[in-house]
């Protein structure tokens, strides 16, 4: 390996990339597939019933949610993002997907609670199933990671996942893991619903900046 290669591999940004990628791989090995299947089943029911999907998250989690909502739209879902200017009312039979590492982000907890009260199903993607958000949700998918305000205190989880906080400040691990998890869900939905990339491309925006 050349000195240039050594320098590249030892660069702090590259080391951080590897740490985060390794964390995501380890997280993929412990995410409960039963929880994933429950999540996917709700999405498929929503699709088949032509119901709406409302994705919600604050800050960087909100950006992850927007990316997922976009892919749902490409697949033919009626998907929306909380906080956007064009969001219809949701009701019984619709689906709300709430993303919060801590499960305590008040805006998201309140929004999920409001969705639940009108009869929508609620999915929580969170590191803490016993959080206020988890108590509201019909389905929880536990996504390993460190939230902005809470560290993972479970010693076993920290050892198995190799949690290295200096490389991933605040909610980075949760957000990155959730992003890649949801991309995996997109592929799974494409397979289950027999949706091709060409079909998705036809729904992609053709008027862009």
165 catalytic residue (yes or no):
no
Torsion sign across C-alpha atoms 58, 63, 66, 68: negative
Q: How many CB atoms lie within 10 A of CB 89?
A: 8
Task: Quickly list H helices, the chain.
Answer: 3-9, 12-30, 33-48, 59-75, 106-117, 132-136, 155-161, 172-192, 197-203
Catalytic residue among 7, 175, 197, 208: 175
List, in order, residues 6 or more apart from 35 with CB less than 8 Å away: 139, 140, 141, 142
Under a CB-based contact definition with an 8 Å cutoff, are residues 65 and 98 in contact? no
In order of 54, 103, 114, the CA distances from 57 in angstroms are 10, 10, 14
Q: What span, in angstroms and rounded, lies between the C-alpha atoms of 19 and 145?
A: 13
Catalytic residues: 175
């Amino acid at each position: 390996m050349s000195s240039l290669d050594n320098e590249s591999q030892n660069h702090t940004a590259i080391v951080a990339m590897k740490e985060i990628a390794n964390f995501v791989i380890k997280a993929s090995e412990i995410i409960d597939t039963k929880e994933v299947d429950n999540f996917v089943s709700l999405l498929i029911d929503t699709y088949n019933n032509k119901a709406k999907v409302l994705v919600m998250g604050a800050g960087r989690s909100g950006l992850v949610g927007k990316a997922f909502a976009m892919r749902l739209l490409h697949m033919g879902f009626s998907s929306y993002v909380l906080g956007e200017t064009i969001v219809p009312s949701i009701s019984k039979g619709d689906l709300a997907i709430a993303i919060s590492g801590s499960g305590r982000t008040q805006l998201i907890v309140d929004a999920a609670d409001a969705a639940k009260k009108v009869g929508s199903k609620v999915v929580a993607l969170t590191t803490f199933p016993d959080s206020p958000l988890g108590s509201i949700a019909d389905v929880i998918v536990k996504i390993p990671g460190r939230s902005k305000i809470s560290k993972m205190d479970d010693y076993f989880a920290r050892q198995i996942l190799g949690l290295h906080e200096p490389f991933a400040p605040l909610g980075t691990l949760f957000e990155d893991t959730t992003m890649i998890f949801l991309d995996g869900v997109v592929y799974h939905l494409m397979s289950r619903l027999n949706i091709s990339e060409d079909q998705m491309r036809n729904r992609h925006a053709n008027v862009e900046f």
